[in-house]
Amino acid sequence: MYQTIDILSVKQISIQQPLCEEWMETPLTYTGDFVRAIDPDFKQFISAGEARRLGKLLKRALATSLSALNEGGIQNPDAIVTGTGFGSIENTELFLDALVREGEQMLKPTQFMQSTHNTASSLIGINTKSHGYNSTYSQKGLSFDSALYDAWLQFRLGKIRNALVGAHDEMSPVFSGFVSKAGHVKNGEICSEAAVSALLEADSGKPAMCTLKSVQIMNMPTAQELADVMSKISVDAIITGRSGNPENDSWYSFLGSDVPQCSYKPLFGVNFSSSAIGFYTAACCLKAGRIPSVMNAGNGAVPCRSILLVNVVEGRHYSFTVLEAVCGK
Amino acid sequence: MEEMILKLKQEIIEVLNLEDVQPSDIDNDAPLFGEGLGLDSIDALELIVLMEKNYGIKLQDPAKGKEIFKSVNVMADYIQKNRTK
Amino acid sequence: MKAGQVLITGCGIVCAIGNDKGQVLESLLAGRTGVGPLKYLKTGHTEFPVGEVKMSDTEMERAMGIAPGTPTTRTALMGMMAMHEALGQACLEKDDLPHVGFVDGTTVGGMDKSEQYYLDFIDNDSRNAYIGTHDCGSCSEMIADRFGRFKFITTISTACSSAANAIELAADMIRLGEADVVVAGGSECITKFHLNGFNSLMILDHGQCRPFDAGRAGLNLGEGAAFVVLESAESAAKRGVKPVAMLSGYGNACDAFHQTASSPDGEGAYLAMMKALDNAGLKPSDIDYINAHGTGTPNNDLSESQAMKRVFGDVMPQVSSTKSLTGHTTSASGSIEAVICILALQNGFTPVNYAFEQADEGVIVPNMKLAPDRELKHVLCNSFGFGGNDSSLVISNVSNN
């Protein structure tokens, strides 16, 4: 069916400098428990007429997508698959707030339209006139992993040659309070925002950042099942979702200590699209041939040609993504 | 009437989030939809909300909006005749 | 049974026309609509008829053995009812679930509780447990965890095609050997949030909805849940379970036209149907019945009619929109209508399109005849979502195989 699935480009808007890799050398650091993303100038991607009805999440989804497509030299991807935990929560909250406080009259359709989670995938479809496979996942911090898994299946079935895969989550001040109450974000973690779009193509023949080998998702695996998964994977380094919050970090103890482990959450914060940031950092690291010191708690860079990305959500959903450097590089 | 038209234009700009548009950019007789401002069906729904919120005019039929939102002049005229607040 | 086939070995349903398959079948055969005045949802918009599930949250909690006071949502409870019936028919027990995947579809998630407790979330800590039930994923977890430890859980949220896309992912997993058995479908309760949202878009009919009728004036919101158990032929044979139907093909396409409106030529719908037929290896003339998306909005029914005409030409199979009976069950509609199609295949009848009176220009004329009449081999089930997320399933009879 194909030899390799090449990751042509991955673009992010987050609490680090947008649409670039400055964080690998000179990351921004934060104190405080809620930090919003740094937005680029959207005018280069979206006209004023188009932007007026788009909330932050949608602008970011479009900007990262168009940027990734442009870099990878593809205009209409065969598949558009994204994930989001909360969707366009700002507009959802505006609509909900008006509904609760002002009653069931004179509510704004524009806010409601954005409350469905598939607005990002469909907006990208509309904008790029892509009539192919289009889907959206919403499974908390597993949303991106689910979208990537779906795209991977479509590749394996031979239904697609390329795919735009992403995850997008924004956070409002009110809902950020809710998520810490609900325990989605805990003490010591920065509640943040992220938008990530990745362009994948089978046997592209183009310069790629790295290649995707496999994606596996499990719910409540037993210790034996986890050991079985790990026994089949051989990589130079593991990128985990450790955040500094002891409960979260304990979920990764099954990984042992044989392989060097690094994390992205101290730099990028925590949100439902965090694992997409993990994917982005892994691609950047494989392109560079090393995990930068800033992801290794300042203990020096880790050379690597293969990375296992492990994401554990609420101690029950586990995902394993294996990425490798481009052959011969 | 002039004052009311200016106020209406400001309200349209605000509710439809027309960032780069000034009230003076909107011709009183130019069509709001299609050509002219280039508004669409969702904008029409937002204008229906505006009419109810700011002027107490309740439109049940979205098709009726098409006639009323022909231009700022037509809209202002309709508001003048039908407003309840 | 051939390798690579995706069998359906069980299904469960709860919606406005019945709390299980038996009741739904009875209503379908009688052509009885479940759309009526509001009873369970607390809203000021009593002018809109809706297709509510005829059980309170408390009644569903009791039926599912959920302890009073356990934080749960109506969407999750309806999902549990449908899951219970589906697992039962497929003879899947708790010990089997670590080998079974679960792909759910929802959009509203726990919004019923969020809209009720929003001010509490802000002002005090009395309802914090319901913040955790707000998002779509938590809803799927609640449904799954009621029954045991599934090997895989994810949630698709493509608005009104969520459940259809969930079934598609599950089928792909089976075809690739990623799992032997996957339960898929969707669940969605009516909330004030989306009742008001649809009202703000002015697409709700103030009376009984009339899909494909010249006087159609919008949709009626419905609610419910349905799940199908998809299984490889090898696994079904090994477990000794009989299939109730087969998922022979499916397609997903994007209309790429507008966030809330369908294109005039129904491009996305056309592509989804063509992909589904191609995937099933069938010709348009092989299709005996189409369960249309048919919401009853002027825009959808015209656009979908155009798309069906492009696929089927002059030889249009019988078509009906069972949303005239169930209301538009939004994210759950794909699986609710898939189960209705399975019932039609098993019992040999074409579901009726209730409330149709007058044909409209450019719009197909749906089936209005009640009596069980004929054997169906292959049926097509359409689900289209906001943003042009269009999906089609081909479900086939297995009684002759």
DSSP string, C294-312: --S-HHHHHHHHHHHHHHH
The one-letter amino acid at C292? A
Query: Residue A202: which residues within 8 A CB-CB, separation 6 or more?
Result: A1, A2, A3, A4, A5, A6, A155, A160, A161, A162
SS3 state of residue A159: coil
Q: Alpha-carbon dihedral of residues A142, A147, A149, A154, nearest 10 degrees?
A: 170
pLDDT tens, A260-272? Answer: 999 999 999 999 9
Q: Are A128 and A45 in contact (CB under 8 A)?
A: no
Reading the block at residue C376, the tokens are 């169906």
Concatenate the DSSP letters of all residues of A168-186 into one string: EE---HHHHHHHHHHTSS-
Buried b (16+ CB within 10 A) or exposed e, C33-51: bbbeebebbebebeebbbb
Which residue among A104, A134, A149 sits closest to C389, beta carbon to beta carbon?
A134
A148 and A64 within one domain: yes
The residues of chain C scoring below 50 in pLDDT are 1, 401
Count of residues in chain C: 401
Contact A135 C200 (CB under 8 A): no
A171 and A122 within one domain: yes
How many angstroms away from the CA of B47 is the closest CA of chain C?
11
CB under 8 A, 24+ apart: contacts of A301-305: A302/A236, A302/A237, A302/A260, A302/A262, A303/A236, A304/A235, A304/A236, A304/A237, A304/A260, A305/A236
Chain A contact set for B49 (CB, 8 A): 106-109
Contact A53 B18 (CB under 8 A): no
**A69 falls within a domain:** yes
Q: Does A157 touch chain B (CB under 8 A)?
A: no
Chain C contact set for B49 (CB, 8 A): 200
Listed by number, the residues of chain A in 39-98 with a beta carbon closer than 8 Å to a beta carbon of chain C are 80, 84-87, 95-97
Q: Any idea what DSSP says for residue C383?
A: E
**B33 falls within a domain:** no
CA dist B80 → B8, B50, B51, B55, C20 (Å): 11, 14, 11, 9, 56
Question: C366 — phi, psi (to 5°)?
Answer: -80, 170
Total domains, chain B? 1
Which residue among B16, B45, B49 sits closest to A52, beta carbon to beta carbon?
B16
Task: Supply the pLDDT for residue C212.
Answer: 98
**B61 falls within a domain:** yes
Among A202, A225, A255, residue at a domain's last position: A202
Q: Are A174 and A18 in contact (CB under 8 A)?
A: no
pLDDT tens, C96-106? Answer: 999 999 999 99
CA dist A59 → A50, A83, B59, C177 (Å): 10, 15, 32, 38
Average pLDDT, chain C: 96
Best of C94, C173, C195, C196 to disrupt the A interface (most A CBs within 10 Å) is C196
Q: Which residue of B has its CA nearest to C200?
A: B45
Beta bridge partners of C290: C319, C380
Q: Are C255 and B37 in contact (CB under 8 A)?
A: no
Annotated active-site residue C293? The verdict is yes
C210/A271 Cα distance (integer angstroms): 43
Contact A52 B52 (CB under 8 A): no
Q: Alpha-carbon dihedral of residues A238, A243, A247, A252, nearest 10 degrees?
A: 0
Where in the sequence is the domain holding A223, given as residue range(s)? 210-324
pLDDT tens, A68-107? Answer: 999 999 999 999 999 999 999 999 999 999 999 999 999 9
Taking each helix axis as running N to C, give the angle between helix A173-182 and helix C111-123, from 0 to 180 degrees, rounded to the nearest 10. 100
Phi-psi region of C104 (alpha: psi -120 to 50; beta: other; left: phi over 0): beta
Total domains, chain A? 2
Concatenate the DSSP letters of all residues of C149-170 into one string: --SEEEEE--GGGHHHHHHHHH
Q: Which residue of B has its CA nearest to A55?
A: B17
Provide CATH 3.40.47.10 ranges for chain C.
Answer: 6-239, 247-396
Contact C260 B49 (CB under 8 A): no
Chain B contact set for A48 (CB, 8 A): 19-20
B80/A208 Cα distance (integer angstroms): 63
A220 and A169 within one domain: no
Task: Supply the pLDDT for residue A1.
Answer: 83
pLDDT at B37 over 90: no
**B57 falls within a domain:** yes
CB atoms within 10 A of CB A36: 16
C100-105/A162-169 β-pairing: unpaired
The highest-level CATH class for domain C6-239 is alpha beta
A135 and A227 within one domain: no
Concatenate the DSSP letters of all residues of C51-104 into one string: B--SS-HHHHHHHHTPPTT----HHHHHHHHHHHHHHHHTT--GGGGGGEEEEE
A181/A186 Cα distance (integer angstroms): 9
Task: Supply the pLDDT for residue A125.
Answer: 98
Taking each helix axis as running N to C, give the angle between helix C333-347 and helix C21-30, from 0 to 180 degrees, rounded to the nearest 10. 70
Q: Are C363 and C265 in contact (CB under 8 A)?
A: no
Where in the sequence is the domain holding B68, given as residue range(s)? 2-19+41-82
Among A176, A202, A228, residue at a domain's last position: A202
A218 and A177 within one domain: no
A217 and A197 within one domain: no
Best of C201, C202, C216, C303 to disrupt the B interface (most B CBs within 10 Å) is C202
Task: Supply the pLDDT for residue B85.
Answer: 83
Read off the pLDDT band of B66 (50, 70, 90): confident
Among A202, A223, A245, residue at a domain's last position: A202
A73 and A165 within one domain: yes
The residues of chain A scoring below 70 in pLDDT are 328-329
ipTM entry: 0.97
Chain B contact set for C261 (CB, 8 A): 41
**A329 falls within a domain:** no
How many angstroms away from the CA of B73 is the closest CA of chain A?
23
C112/C151 Cα distance (integer angstroms): 28
CB atoms within 10 A of CB C111: 28
Chains that touch C (3 or more CB pairs under 8 A): A, B
C-alpha count within 13 angstroms, C-beta hemisphere, residue B11? 19
Beta bridge partners of A82: A136, A166
Q: Does A41 touch chain B (CB under 8 A)?
A: no
Question: Is the pTM of the predicted complex or chain greater than 0.90?
Answer: yes
Reading the block at residue C123, the tokens are 């002002």
Reading the block at residue C26, the tokens are 């009875």
Reading the block at residue A26, the tokens are 């000179």
Q: Are C323 and C294 in contact (CB under 8 A)?
A: yes
The one-letter amino acid at A131? H
A189 and A103 within one domain: yes
Q: Are A169 and A176 in contact (CB under 8 A)?
A: no
Which stretch of DSSP H or E encloses residue C195?
A: helix C192-200
Contact B45 C261 (CB under 8 A): no
Exposed/middle/buried for residue A44 (C-beta within 10 Å: 0-12, 13-18, 19+): exposed
Mean pLDDT confidence for B36-64: 88
Which stretch of DSSP H or E encloses residue A263?
A: strand A261-263
Considering the domain C247-396, what is its CATH architecture? 3-Layer(aba) Sandwich (3.40)
A235 and A187 within one domain: no
Beta bridge partners of A307: A237, A323
Q: Are C86 and C169 in contact (CB under 8 A)?
A: no
